[in-house]
Chains A and B, each alone.
Chain A
Amino acid sequence: MPDTVRLDHRIIYDIVEPGSRVLDLGCGNGDLIYLLAKEKGARVQGIELSEEAIYRCVEKGLSVFHSDIDSGLSEYPDRSFDYVILNQSLQEARRADFVLREALRVGKKVILGFPNFAHLYARLQLFFAGKTPITPSLPYRWYDTPNLHFLSVSDFRDFCREKKIRILTAYFLGTKRRVRFWANLFALNAIFVVSPSA
């Protein structure tokens, strides 16, 4: 794998077993699924909202559907994918809980990556400056953010407990490397691997 690959993509790459069936919800330019398909022989399908990104995916030979992720899954039978990836896209979905529930239905496992709103920088900005935080993983201003939902590592753990979602593994990311301690304070991004509890 080339060194230029993003840290979150590296982590997800390591999670996915060779030959898996993968659905990437909000696949962007398709860099991650291209890597998974090429290097791990994964069978990949993307869903993406941006027309420009669709062209980039088609250039790579990827199969991709032009759609938002809020309405994308009802046609798929239960457990039709080994992994459903929601990397940096769930927080932009209108019905985040519905999308995650659908992902958990069609995927045996769901890989979920999101920015942690409770990072130290965010807390300091909110507490001392009294301003909406801007961090490396939440780089937008209040008026131009695509994010509709803001959550922390702790929020997501609570959510899983409430919804009976099983957390299989969790990875916490700083700017360049993984964060091992006090994730809710020091992680800029989190990647959870979850499955339905039953």
Chain B
Amino acid sequence: MTLDARLVARRGRFRLDVGLTIERGETVALLGPSGAGKTTVVRLLAGVASIDDGHIRLDGTVVDDPATGAFVAPHRRRVGWVPQGGGLFPHLSAVHNVAFALRARGTRRATALASARDWLTRVHLADRSNDSVEHLSGGEGRRVAIARALASDPALLLFDEPFTGLDVAARVEVRQAVRDAWDASDAPRLLVAHEPVDALSMADRVIVIEEGAVVQVGTPGDLCERPRTAYVAELAGLNLVRGSGGTEAGHPVVRAGHGEVLQVAESVEGSVVATFRPSAVAVFREAPGGSPRNVLEGTVSEIVPTGERVRVRIDSHPVVVAELTTSAAAALELRPGDRVYAVVKATEIEVRPAP
């Protein structure tokens, strides 16, 4: 079982063009900011929307291809879809929600109900079988939705933000249910995630899309170490600057988009990405001297405590995130709106050729 797709779809001014393949038993996470087109990808694969160009092949069968006019309706595609929010039928009990998948595929009523109870037992909800789904908690609802998707004997699993909107305890139980679901099926799996932690911890590969296009594909490790866009860098907790590499006065530099020049340690010619850790950024109220350092002036736009440290977002050109110790942040008495200087040593900046 494999998925091979190139999805091209136009929605007004928005254009989606995403290629993806998922092998049998492989989990691919689809990451991207809001409005990137993640749910559109899911809907196209499920067949509740059709592509304008490209193709979708599932297990070697073409299920959508505008060039040949081939289109397999959603109810014949065998896609196990857990939509955002779960998509449970509010007029049915938990067991009837799951049995719906079996009944729709022609299973007899009694068999379907017995099988649905088995599926609910697997997600530890046997005792809630007869409850109306409107009386289930958020986490329980998602688990019913997962059981229902699996019960339809899918050739492809699509989980659209299964953890969004849940509290921490519910996330833990739903995460376990998702892992169990992975184990119960060797279908290709697409996990749409808004939170990078889920994508990075559960996926074999990650596809990042922005504004309808793939910006990076790789293992979770690749993404963290070599982010290609500011969004991916932010996911990985890094600062990222795109620019062109060169030398000025004999020193290697990166010229960023707005004309700013970053002093760097190693010379890489051509189009480059420069990354540096937020913890490598120092923050000052007065412009510091010394060399060879990069000084970026900007306004504090966000201060987020993260345990023992504080992340400070500074709207300079380019935008940088600094990570300070709580005591250092307290000494600076930072407030949003303050003018500050972010300082990065040239040796802290890693420069790589842009992809």
**A and B bound?**
no
